[in-house]
Homo-oligomer: A and B are copies of this chain.
């Protein structure tokens, strides 16, 4: 083993391959991407144009059009034009008469512009691999409208353009302008990379330029930073795309300034309180926005989980791009805290609905979890940037867990309904009865007024390629982090390299990588390293490394192999003189793992969860009957014979008729190939029920407390399905953890 600390940064640091240089064609991800392309993107476009019957209007494009019209008036009227003076009309403002919104007014949430940005980001990713002239024309027209809304000075947030620019950048705690900037940059880059068109990118740059003038360390510049982070990671990415250091400096400024004293958010609140102009409560929960102390001193992940994930992603990006060891160390500390104390076994984060936030250490409630889809996505963002900083398999393990489980659970198998909140245990009866579970929905919802999760799922699914590979800064090493069937192109040591990957994750662990070199097909060779992740779920690293072999590893005529191997930090590094046509084969063990949580997780005492490969499983009432809390894994039988758990390929049939009058929980009939687990289990036999009274919603029997006796056990087999597939067959109970 080589100590990674001795590896030069140029070899350790890496960045994703260009989106157009990677394709994913395997059955699993192709299906997901097609779902997004065919179901989510068109729906989303209708949503941001307020064309979804029954759904709350977004007013997103309405606002851009209103701002564009105002801009046009300004140009026509010249000095006669009187810009609106700021008035606060609420965090979400709605037309007095919903049937006749004022065409000149801003409506919706303060961050409503991001609906467009997230949509265009997913569109950009989609177009990269799936040309669609109609979609592209639609996007171009939308971009025209958005760009027409931009002020001459580059500012582009319709909330303040329409409500009054005199208070722009005056409520950074709550008003999300910098969040809008961040999303605009992300969307613009994606559209640029997907289509080559830079109109939106230029607009984003101009808004970023304006912002870089406004904020900064120099006298007269504002010392604030985003209330809802994302600008940091977006600006870093913009610096990478444009090569303009200014954007990286601004990202770094936001990060360096955050949580320092005097606290900017406190200053802002006290200023507003003093001059009586506070839109919102002048007080602020600093940890909620990770602004309670300088980021380099933060060692516990706290506050709003999505904000946190975006901030940490930005920190990791800036740490890599500026070679900042103290910032990298802070990222590692926060990562450790999340992974050791605050991560759900489904890859979700955010234990409490209070502030949609991380709860305290080891507090991971199953039924009242928040575990927002967006938070899992933000964790994947963070994990990939940690990989870019330092390739360690643990980062990829967690990234994969977040992608395959909570992220995908956010979307129904027909791509038409979505979860915000991803609990690990659901009793629909409780969700309907218990206001403490107001946030937990037992079935997916069609769309949300505050539509952050569906478009976030769309953008990460359409760009999942970017999570599979990175190439080192010195172009010596191509990392394969996730095994996805498809192709990846990179230039390694000046040599064009193309990998053709055959894989069947997440269901089977075997596959192969064919190495193509050069422009032609024969006789080319080159010296470089292919690094392959050793998935944590496959077992011990050395054994897993042995599950990978390359044709060039056999001794040549001179007795030594062309390709040699080295294992470090959970990666197998295969280095040497690669030849066109070389094949790397892998066959990772994919044992079913019966996991228990750290004993400090009080919620999970006496419980087990089952995983296999990157997939976390769950039990649904549909397969196992009601009262899942009485279903126990037969841990003794499983320990005695791990093979007693059956792994079965099967066709999962999704589909549910509209289960309420808004069609919430409705899923089209869809069949998806999956793997299920048949697990030895037992059920606690419930004594014969006393006939329920009229009022009883559940079977009743007394007494409520009785002398303890060991439970009467009925042997059964528990059927576990992938967590991401739950709630696709109507409303029913679900649990990830089973009692032991």
A: which residues have CB within 8 A of B? 298-300, 333, 336-337, 339-341, 343, 345, 352-355, 359-363, 368, 427, 429-430, 433-436, 593-602, 605-606, 608-609, 627, 629-630, 635, 639, 684, 686, 693-711, 739-740
Contact = CB atoms under 8 A, between A and B. Distances in A.
B595 A339 contact: no
Given A436-B352, A601-B704, A708-B594, A697 B427 contact: no
Contacts of A600: 627, 686, 698-699, 701
Contacts of A593: 707
A693 B342 CA distance: 14
A524 B730 CA distance: 76
A349 to B, nearest CB: 12
Contacts of A639: 708-710
Residue with the greatest number of chain B CB neighbours at <10 A, chosen from A333, A429, A629: A629
A706 to B, nearest CB: 6
Given A436-B368, A598-B706, A697 B430 contact: no
Nearest to A610: B708
Contacts of A354: 434-436
A352 to B, nearest CB: 6
A697 B361 contact: yes
A683 to B, nearest CB: 10
Contacts of A630: 599, 605
A359 B434 contact: yes
Overall SS of chain A's interface: loop
A475 to B, nearest CB: 35
Contacts of A695: 298-300, 333, 337
Contact of A299 (B361, B436, B606, B694): B694
A53 to B, nearest CB: 28
Nearest to A602: B629
A695 B710 CA distance: 42
Contacts of A359: 433-434
Contacts of A704: 339-341, 343, 597-598, 601
Contacts of A635: 708, 710
A705 B363 contact: no
A222 to B, nearest CB: 30
A323 B510 CA distance: 79
A429 B360 contact: yes
Nearest to A696: B361
Closest 7 CB pairs of A and B: A299-B695, A300-B695, A360-B433, A354-B435, A594-B708, A602-B629, A595-B705
Given A368-B436, A433-B360, A630-B605, A340 B599 contact: no
A357 to B, nearest CB: 9
Given A299-B693, A430-B363, A740-B708, A341 B700 contact: yes
A360 B702 contact: no
B608 A708 contact: yes
A693 B599 contact: no
24 contacts: A298-B695, A299-B695, A300-B695, A333-B695, A340-B703, A341-B696, A341-B704, A353-B436, A360-B434, A362-B698, A427-B602, A436-B436, A594-B708, A596-B707, A596-B708, A597-B705, A598-B701, A598-B705, A600-B686, A600-B699, A605-B684, A606-B739, A609-B705, A639-B708
Contacts of A427: 602
Nearest to A536: B703
Nearest to A365: B436
Contacts of A594: 707-708
Contacts of A697: 360-361
B700 A430 contact: no
Most buried by B among A360, A695, A701: A695
Contacts of A609: 705
A392 to B, nearest CB: 14
Given A434-B359, A684-B599, A345 B705 contact: yes
Nearest to A367: B602
B605 A739 contact: yes
A343 B704 CA distance: 8
A601 B337 CA distance: 33
Nearest to A638: B708
Contacts of A599: 627, 630, 684, 686, 711
A608 B606 CA distance: 14
Contacts of A299: 693-695
Nearest to A336: B693
